[in-house]
Structure 1
Amino acid sequence: MTTFDELLSDVSVPDLRRSTDELNRLKAGTGPAADPAATDRQHAKGKLTAYERLDLLFDQGTFTELEPLRRHRATGFGLDERKPYGDGVVAGWGLVHGRTVFAYAHDFRVFAGALGEAHAAKVHKVMDLAEAAGAPLVSLNDGAGARIQEGVTALAGYGGIFRRNTRSSGVIPQISVIMGPCAGGAAYSPALTDFVFMVRETSQMFLTGPDVVQAVTGEKISQNGLGGADVHAGVSGVAGFAYDDEAECLEDVRHLLSLLPQNNRELPPAERPFDQPDRRTDALVSLVPAEPGRAYDMRDVITELVDDGEYFELHAAWAPNVVCALARLDGQVVGIVANQPAALAGVLDIHGSEKAARHVSTCDAFNIPLVTLVDVPGFLPGVDQEHGGIIRHGAKLLYAYCNATVPRISVVLRKAYGGAYIVMDSRSIGADLSFAWPTNEIAVMGAEGAANVVFRREIAASDDPDATRDRLVKEYKSQLMHPYYAAERGLVDDVIDPGETRSVLVRSLAMLRHKHAPLPERKHGNPPL
């Protein structure tokens, strides 16, 4: 029987021998034949090669490459002499924690990872396969944008990627990992995906670079200052995560994939729980001050509630007044949305509303139940907020909750005032179950503000306005803000012991696991974008 090596040595297939040798050099890290120092330059920048990144992403030895022999067909501008195999992108599939995942990785050593017609065709191929197979797609971005020498065909390649991103949105999880430059039109693909990871110092995203910005506006700024990892993770909100190195980044990509279903027709993967489902959470009584104005860290509450105290926070550095996370309760994945009293007193503002709305929508798309922890004094007042469209942005969160069909449970820990109470998944907008602690205050507004409005004339006419105000505030609290007021009217299903919060959530989620809530027949809704 003829072996593969013997076949390669046959004089009739010299091109196959050359192509295989070149691919082996690429995979071994010695660079394309035309530029053997390319790998060294990549490493000198603190960056791994495409193959090294894929080795970290996938379970060992499971990656299968697609179309490694594809080459571009362009001519002119020096391209006739440069036709490397792979054309600057590595695409294929493998296993992550034993489950199929598709991926493509730009190879900056070949044409600086720039996208041309053949490059785009490989990306389109793997995206189509991911959708057809119903499996997540991960893109490892490290490219110089459109290949200028190929002109408009490169731009058409990006159009095909964007169309596929949109078609797969809410169908399969899509994760973008920025590990180098991602500029111009290339930046729109990550923006269309579900999650964006970035690496500090080596990755940047922007539509127009620092030189163009300076030429047009006169502003001088570095690439990292314009579109680095911390900028997008903490200022723009484009990225959900920022890391110091690529290995740590890819390890968290693997962890995120372990919390997501393969597609929108499956439930998230369950794990055998080691934490007791009925474990009491008495520590919550001391973690959450009874006084509605005192701050505390909501992340401590989440740690106490979830399995083994472990959760995966999204957008931790952006809009910190709202906490969004994925975690497990009794081994089942849940999405958590919570007000954060340690930042802006936990109010809802433009960015916080957008952040929470995105998380709610993502969880609903991938069958992840929602747990909402409420401690909200209202929407942030101010001219900037009103002129910035807080009404429209707040409506995004309202729309996301109202449109969600997954199991939804809310818990009012302390205060829940005004429109913000309604928006934070109240019973009136469709929460399946709503619970409250005995310290809850659910009302149109705080007692002092309400008394100043309702009893304005009586306070003004009093001989002792301060004493009269204090008396009327107490009366208002006792009549309209006592812990059982909402429960008596069916707006809260039960007032629960904080120490039983975990067990109540676990039992409620188990009951709702097979919830079915179809939406009206329509092409799609029209959210307040």
Structure 2
Amino acid sequence: MTASSETMADRVAALREKQEAAHASGGPEGLRRHRESGRLPVRERIDMLVDPDSWFEIGALALPELRREKPIPGDAVVTGFGLLDGRRVGVIGIDSSVVAGTTAPISMRKQGRLIEHAQRHGFPLVLLCDADGGRMPDVSGWRFSGLPLDFTTFLKPPPGEPVVPRVAAVLGPSYGDSALHASTAHYVVMVRSGSIALSGPSVVEPAIGEKVSDDALGGPAAATEAGNAHLVVDTEADAMDAVAAFLSYLPQNSTLPPPVAPPLPPQRDPADLADIVPLGARAGYDMRDVFACIADAASILPWADGWGSSLLCALARIEGRVVGLIGNQPIVRAGALDPAALAKEAAFVRLCDTFGVPLVFLHDVPGLMIGTQAERGGILRGYEVLVSAIAEATVPKVGVVLRKAYGGGHFAMGGRPTKPDFLYAWPSAELGFMAPETGIRTIHRRKLERVLAEEGPEAHAALVAELTAEWVSEAEPWEAAAHLSLDDVIEPAATRHVIATSIDITLGGRP
């Protein structure tokens, strides 16, 4: 057929043929192997994620620069836009049913264009990660240096443009640029069969001689401990639900306020707080139970529970408003903050401050971890980064000291020098530079040693008890409230109401 004899119908037929080929992914055999590995095809993942009939794809007809005998539809990546709970999102879905989802220049250009659209037009970006790194020879030699990878847009918005939420779902082995995508995300959910690392086992072994499995290298245990994943789920459907849940707390971009939901009562009666938190400073309890008495029912979304686990962070709602809850976890090292907990808290504070989410600090902290391990782990630098982030945050900040708040741990939880809008305490609160048992042995060491040597163990024990009582009396909240270091001392049962009202005051009637 000559060009002059062709009709528009012929051209449309040719288009439809190319579209069908573009949607073929890895073909029957590639898709079969992909399903047998326990993974869903990328287009089924997208259908599961976005609202029905809302998918709008771009770049479907892309092909790799280096053509092979076997086709690589879309250059192994699907990009486009959809609605998620009625709100626009951009989606990058790696197609690992063909050439293991490996990255080449055209696929990277497709991803970059989608990211540019999301950032320029101000809506969230969802990254479906499942790739085995770079594709050879497409990225070898001089080609690697010339990859269309713009770090001014690929990793973050250009200066002056709003920040958009980024969410990554790790749905299989995710190496190379899939891992890089996840590192830029504000929230990373992964399935138990997934893994995430800079380079996969096929590169690690020949490079450094270490033979390692996907799971050992970057599976759920390794990823959560390193802070590379915030939540681990069983199925891909669970992962898509987690993506939707996370985005439901955030605005479309950093110029807008977080969405407000209808208020709900808390899961547990706030009056239970007096029984949940024991008076003894050494007695353990689960801070999650405190969260349940303060947040609206079914609104708590944990954030990185497996990383820095002596501190809990969660997105939640109080009276329908989105908040970021930060609380020490007394059942893990008594709630003391180590380098991982400090890094986790700093990242969460930045997330909330970026997207206008008020911060709620629930103090029950004996202090910062000390000693050689903590110092070599960078606790000093981590502490400086965290307290600076809290002090510089412009969102409402409300703190409540439940039981103990000592030393640098108190400041790392939003103590007065970090400029909280409101700071309260329960009658059970103890505040000070050190815990009593440490403080009296540090300050009165020589006196205690002399009494023990000259008067014996009983006199020594009596002096310890006397000094401890004096220390605890100074640490009680009454003088702090008298000198306005605290805005008030409140009953435990009033905590939810006090926090909600304080946030309302700081927002000045804004949503």
List aligned pairs for 1:100-119, cutoff 5 A. 100-119=88-107
Structure 1 residue 227, shift from structure 2 partner: 1.1
* Residue 36, structure 1, aligned to residue 10, structure 2: no
Q: Counterpart of 2:378? A: 389
Structure 1 residue 193, shift from structure 2 partner: 2.2
Q: Counterpart of 1:241? A: 231
- In 2 relative to 1, CA 170–419 (structure 1 residues): closer, same or farther, beyond 3 Å? farther
* Residue 222, structure 1, aligned to residue 213, structure 2: yes
Conserved 8 A contact 1:428-1:491:
no
Among 90, 95, 108, the alignment partner of 2:78 is 90
Q: Counterpart of 1:484? A: 478
Q: Counterpart of 1:352? A: 341
Q: Counterpart of 2:245? A: 255
Conserved 8 A contact 1:142-1:181:
yes
- In 2 relative to 1, CA 171–290 (structure 1 residues): closer, same or farther, beyond 3 Å? same
Structure 1: which amino acid aligns with 2:113? K
Structure 1 residue 449, shift from structure 2 partner: 2.4
* Residue 410, structure 1, aligned to residue 394, structure 2: no
Structure 1 residue 162, shift from structure 2 partner: 7.0
- Structure 1, 153-162 or 428-437: larger mean CA deviation: 153-162
The structure 1 segments of at least 4 consecutive aligned residues displaced by more than 6 Å after TM superposition are none
Among 47, 58, 61, the alignment partner of 1:55 is 47
Structure 1 residue 63, shift from structure 2 partner: 1.1
SS at match of 2:61: coil
Distance in 2 (CA, whole Å) between partners of 1:90 and 1:214 is 30
Structure 2: which amino acid aligns with 1:37? E
Q: Counterpart of 2:312? A: 323
Unaligned runs of 5+ in 2: 1-5
Structure 1 residue 113, shift from structure 2 partner: 1.7
Structure 2: which amino acid aligns with 1:290? L
Conserved 8 A contact 1:410-1:433:
yes
Among 132, 136, 145, the alignment partner of 1:148 is 136
Distance in 2 (CA, whole Å) between partners of 1:477 and 1:121 is 63
Question: How big is the alpha-carbon RMSD for the aligned residues of Structure 1 and Structure 2?
Answer: 2.4
SS at match of 1:165: coil
SS at match of 1:141: strand
Structure 2: which amino acid aligns with 1:319? G
Among 177, 182, 197, the alignment partner of 2:174 is 182
Distance in 1 (CA, whole Å) between partners of 2:207 and 2:16 is 51
Structure 1 residue 460, shift from structure 2 partner: 3.7
Conserved 8 A contact 2:248-2:259:
yes
Conserved 8 A contact 1:146-1:155:
no
Distance in 2 (CA, whole Å) between partners of 1:208 and 1:426 is 41
- Structure 1, 169-178 or 125-134: larger mean CA deviation: 169-178
Conserved 8 A contact 2:72-2:99:
no
* Residue 495, structure 1, aligned to residue 489, structure 2: yes
Q: Counterpart of 1:200? A: 192
Structure 2: which amino acid aligns with 1:268? P
SS at match of 2:132: coil
SS at match of 2:89: strand
Structure 1 residue 453, shift from structure 2 partner: 3.1
SS at match of 1:268: coil
- Identical counterparts, % of pairs: 34
TM-score normalised over the length of structure 1: 0.88
Distance in 2 (CA, whole Å) between partners of 1:116 and 1:61 is 30
- Structure 1, 399-408 or 168-177: larger mean CA deviation: 168-177
Structure 1 residue 175, shift from structure 2 partner: 1.1
Distance in 2 (CA, whole Å) between partners of 1:377 and 1:155 is 50
Distance in 2 (CA, whole Å) between partners of 1:158 and 1:343 is 45
* Residue 313, structure 1, aligned to residue 302, structure 2: yes
List aligned pairs for 1:285-300, cutoff 5 A. 285-300=274-289
Distance in 2 (CA, whole Å) between partners of 1:228 and 1:170 is 33
* Residue 509, structure 1, aligned to residue 503, structure 2: yes
1:28-65 deviations in Å (ceiling 9; x for gaps)? xxx55xx3222211111110111100111111121111
Conserved 8 A contact 2:250-2:355:
yes
Structure 1: which amino acid aligns with 2:469? K
1:178-222 deviations in Å (ceiling 9; x for gaps)? 212222354223212222221112x22222333554455554321
Structure 1 residue 9, shift from structure 2 partner: 8.2
Q: Counterpart of 1:121? A: 109
